[in-house]
Amino acid sequence: MTSSHSEKRVKTQPAVVLGAGAWGTALAVMLARGGVDTTLCVRRPGQLEALATERENRTYLPGVAFPPQLALSSDWRAAVARAGTVVMAVPSRYARAAVESVAQSIRNDAVMVNAAKGIEEQTLRTMTEMMAEVAAHAHAYAVLSGPGFAAEVARDKPAALVAASRNEDAAWTVQHLFASRSLRVYRSADVIGVELAGAAKNIIAIAAGVSDGLELGSSARAAVITRGLAELARLVEAAGGRRETVMGLAGLGDLVLTCTGELSRNRSLGLALGRSGATQGLGAEQEGRPVAEGVSNARAIRSLARRHGVEMPIVDAVYRTLYEAEPPKAMVEELLSRALKAEF
């Protein structure tokens, strides 16, 4: 598919976004602005009423007005039944339940797009693997990932993402569906690489936040990012992904953004942890508070690394700090005291 006629046909297919958090709302707004018949699905009745009345998501994405053509719905099954593209933007820990609730209504010709960055803790499946299991009849499965903060993307600030699918036509479709004057979308066939990089970088960002919270300096942060990138590469390659994916938007690009950006939820959590030294209550989900995916994924990525026999010392250290009450300073001291070795 390369013609402008095909591009127009992509835009005329109805799309539905499951999940009205910051990223789901931003993607729905972008699609609607691009002329796509888009429905944003909301779970809580109170939230739906507020969004419909205010025509913006003041809880998760304040100051971004909804386009007039953006529809809202709490009837997820009805919305999904008419959609050619189903975007799953629910946090990874709740994603399976969300997809299961609408699976029977998903069209056979639908392309399912994962926009969440995480893997299942119980099964260690990626989100596209989970969707392919729960909605096996769908036409194709894809992932949209990369360095993009919801608040910036929704305000048309320049950004670049990557759309990956094993189905070349599906990757092309997602690429052209989300591309705009301010959002450049590349495509890839390395689904596992894109998804694992997107999930694991959140844990490295917590470590970078801890480093900043302890005021260890810019050099320490750079070391965390660089060695974290090496951990991502080892995991992705062991799982069958490509090293070049880790060096691209879904890996290095997203890692740098999440480890340094002021809008990063995972870095912010690490900052609080480094400054206070207390883990209790950090990362706990609260209504109206965005989820830091790195908290739950520290356990999942650690388990996946062990399954593949991959060494991920930064991930291990973050896990122990979050779940075994290891003080942040002890985490740093342990990483610095590791045996010296060659870099590559």
Residue 241 lies in a domain: yes
Question: Would you state the pLDDT for residue 280?
Answer: 55
Query: What CA–CA distance (Å, rounded) separates 317 from 35?
Result: 46
**Which residues partner with 162 through β-bridges?**
145, 186
Q: Are residues 104 and 183 in the same domain?
A: yes
Indicate the SS3 state at residue 308: helix
pLDDT at 333 over 90: no
Q: Are residues 204 and 317 in the same domain?
A: yes
Residues contacting 122, CB < 8 A, separation 6+: none
Q: Are residues 263 and 328 in the same domain?
A: yes
Q: Are residues 215 and 160 in the same domain?
A: no
Residue 248 lies in a domain: yes
Q: Are residues 297 and 176 in the same domain?
A: no
**β 38-41/15-18 pair status:** parallel
Q: Are residues 218 and 181 in the same domain?
A: no
Helix %, strand %, coil % of the chain (to 5): 55, 15, 35
Q: What is the pLDDT of residues 95-104, one digit of tens each?
A: 999 999 999 9
Q: Are residues 273 and 308 in the same domain?
A: yes
What's the mean pLDDT in 188-206?
Answer: 97
Question: Would you state the pLDDT for residue 90?
Answer: 96
Residue 226 lies in a domain: yes
DSSP assignments along 256-279, one per residue: HHHHH-TT-HHHHHHHHHHHH---
Domain end (from 129, 158, 189): 189
Q: Residue 39 corresponds to which amino acid?
A: T
Q: DSSP assignment, residue 103?
A: G
Question: Would you state the pLDDT for residue 339?
Answer: 82
Query: What CA–CA distance (Å, rounded) separates 61 from 272?
Result: 22
pLDDT at 2 over 80: no
pTM exceeds 0.95, yes or no:
no
| Residue 201 annotated in active site | yes
Share of the chain above pLDDT 90, in %: 84
Residue 222 lies in a domain: yes
What's the mean pLDDT in 259-266?
Answer: 95
Give me the chain's average pLDDT, please.
Answer: 92
The one catalytic residue in 8, 117, 157, 201 is 201
Rg of the chain on CA atoms, in Å: 20
Residue numbers of the domain that contains 206: 198-336
* Contact (CB, 8 A) for 300 and 198: no
Q: Residue 89 corresponds to which amino acid?
A: A
Q: Are residues 178 and 41 in the same domain?
A: yes
Query: What CA–CA distance (Å, rounded) separates 285 from 341?
Result: 40
Q: Are residues 138 and 219 in the same domain?
A: no
* Contact (CB, 8 A) for 250 and 197: yes
Question: Would you state the pLDDT for residue 213?
Answer: 95
Which of 4, 250, 1 lies closest to 146 in space, CA to CA?
A: 250
Q: Are residues 50 and 135 in the same domain?
A: yes
Residue 341 lies in a domain: no
Q: Are residues 229 and 185 in the same domain?
A: no
The residue written with tokens 């694992």 in the block is 196
Residue 33 lies in a domain: yes
Domain end (from 189, 221, 242): 189
CATH number at residue 96: 3.40.50.720
Instruction: Give the Å distances, CA to CA, from 145 to 35, 108, 117, 252.
Output: 22, 24, 8, 12
Q: What is the pLDDT of residues 102-149, one digit of tens each?
A: 999 999 999 999 999 999 999 999 999 999 999 999 999 999 999 999
pLDDT at 282 over 70: no
**Which residues partner with 218 through β-bridges?**
none
pLDDT bucket at 7, cuts 50 / 70 / 90: low
Residue 11 lies in a domain: yes
Domain end (from 189, 209, 234): 189
* Contact (CB, 8 A) for 176 and 10: yes
Residue 344 lies in a domain: no
Q: Are residues 181 and 205 in the same domain?
A: no
* Contact (CB, 8 A) for 271 and 185: no
CATH number at residue 204: 1.10.1040.10
Query: What CA–CA distance (Å, rounded) separates 339 from 344?
Result: 14
Number of domains in the chain: 2
The residue written with tokens 């009205």 in the block is 20
